[in-house]
Amino acid sequence: MSEPAGNFCLLTGAGPAAIAVIQIRATDAAARVAALCRLPVERLPAVGRMRLAAVYPGDDDPIDEVLLSTHAVDEIRLHLHGSPWIVRRVAEQLQADGLDPVDTMTEPDGNRLERAAWQRVPGMSTLAGVRWLAAQPMRVRAALESNPEEPVERIRRRLRGLLAAARVRDWYARPVRIAVVGPPNAGKSTLINALTRRQACLVSDRPGTTRDWNEVHAELDGFPVTWLDTAGLRETEDPLEAAGIEHTRAQMAAADGVLLVVEAGPPVPWEAWEQLLGQVPLAVVLNKADTARQRGLAAIPAAWRGRVAAVSAQTATGLGLLAALLPGSLGRDRSQLSAASCFTEIMRREVAAVCGQADPDLRSALATLRAGWEA
């Protein structure tokens, strides 16, 4: 019997997890992955690049959308969603195709930077987060380099940038919780369905349909988000609806921010909403803007005026403006996404210690740090 042409290994934990990474090493890795994803070989990513694809492990329909990353001509990695069932189906197909499963792997190849990045892949909640994390070893390596002529203050500024960008990892790892609030029948549930592109919430023209809060997990511009569909806020004598409204108030208090949804046509009691929310909303959505004129915007609180988006949740128009507003309101500075980051707590402490060194000692401390992370 001939020896297997290569092997595969699960680099991440057994799951369940947000992301699972399978490494494929084979002399014909590109052809095997192309067959698994039903793609021409020439459409696979070049070395050092990534692309989205779907996997078809012997089925007529794809079972997952994956991120492919090519690390060498004979090494490709599949970034799957971390369902144990998905991982098992792909592993079974790879084994059926003649690849040898490697059951135990102590750690991925590469230096300390590479190992630290791959070990944290399961903590990323979105594929955009995986892309960001995969790029970090190269960016950090460049940030830790220096030359004898470079001014010390410039080195220190670069290290401070590493520390400032450390928060980006949390942006991709922890879903932000957004309570979608407003009066009954304003279209809150329809808006969540439009934003998530699925029927996640029950929709009806009858006011008061949503009587309890509902969590919907999704993405917003690549960041993980949990939408909280809530009962409409109004005075009511219905005890069941009143209980739902109390739940809405509790969700508002516990959320990372609120999204206020009102109808574009009727006059809006802005002062009442300002008092009720007690905070600046992440965005103010004027829904049903395709059928009504926007009125009363002059009375909107000054702090809210730069956060208004006119949309039609029913026809899914205007959602791009809303999606562009929200990351900034949540403090997601997109300029940080391309920066080198201290993506582990150990790295953050070590870089902070170097940054705190006196000028004469900073270069040698940086050289020691760089050597440690390149080991």
Task: Give 247 or 362, the one with higher predicted confidence.
Answer: 362
Rounded to the nearest angstrom, the gap between the alpha carbon of residue 268 and the centroid of all alpha carbons in its chain is 34
- The lowest-confidence range among 216-230, 247-261, 275-289, 292-306 is 292-306
Report the phi/psi class of residue 31: left, alpha or beta, with left for phi > 0 and alpha for psi in -120 to 50: alpha
pLDDT, average across residues 303-331: 89
Kindly report which listed range (65-69, 165-169, 239-243) carries the lowest average pLDDT score: 239-243
- pLDDT at position 4: 47
Q: Tell me whether strands 50-55 and 283-287 are parallel, antiparallel or unpaired.
A: unpaired
Provide the pLDDT for residue 295: 60
The pLDDT of residue 31 is above 60: yes
361 C-beta neighbours (distance < 10 Å), count = 12
Whether 153 has a pLDDT exceeding 80, the answer reads yes
Q: What angle do CA 350, 355, 356 make, to 5 degrees?
A: 100
> Global pTM?
0.69
Q: What is the pLDDT of residue 26?
A: 93
Nearest to 176 by CA among 132, 128, 222, 227: 227
pLDDT at site 249: 74
Provide the sign of the torsion angle of the four alpha carbons 72, 347, 125, 164, taken in this order. Answer: negative
pLDDT attached to residue 109? 54
Q: Rounded to the nearest 5 degrees, what angle is found at the Cα of 46, between the Cα atoms of 43 and 51?
A: 60
Mean pLDDT over 296-302 rounds to 78
Please say if the pLDDT value at position 63 is more than 80.
yes
Mean pLDDT over residues 202-219, rounded? 61
Mean pLDDT of 153-171: 94
Residue ranges, comma separated, of all CATH 3.30.1360.120 domains in the chain are: 6-106
Closest among 147, 122, 118, 149 to 134, alpha carbons compared: 118
pLDDT of residue 104: 43
Residues of the chain with CATH 3.40.50.300: 175-329
Q: How much is the pLDDT for 107?
A: 45
**Phi, psi angle pair for 225, to nearest 5°:** -145, 145
Which fold is adopted by the domain 6-106?
Answer: Gyrase A; domain 2 (3.30.1360)
Out of 167-181, 241-255, 265-279, 322-336, least confident range: 241-255
- At residue 237, the pLDDT reads 52
* Domain 175-329 of CATH type 1.20.140.10: no
| pLDDT for 1 | 37
CA distance 267 to 285: 14
Reply yes or no on whether the pLDDT at 20 is more than 70. Answer: yes
How many C-beta atoms surround the C-beta of residue 126 within 10 A?
Answer: 22
Poorest-confidence range of 162-176, 182-196, 223-237, 313-327?
Answer: 223-237
Separation of alpha carbons 351 and 160, rounded Å:
8
What pLDDT sits at residue 58?
77
Residue 195's nearest CA partner among 81, 284, 320, 307 is: 320
Per-residue pLDDT band at 313 (split at 50, 70, 90): confident
261 contacts: CB under 8 Å, gap ≥ 6? 180, 181, 182, 186, 187, 188, 191, 285, 287
CB neighbours of 320 closer than 8 A, spacing ≥ 6? none
Q: Mean pLDDT in the chain?
A: 83
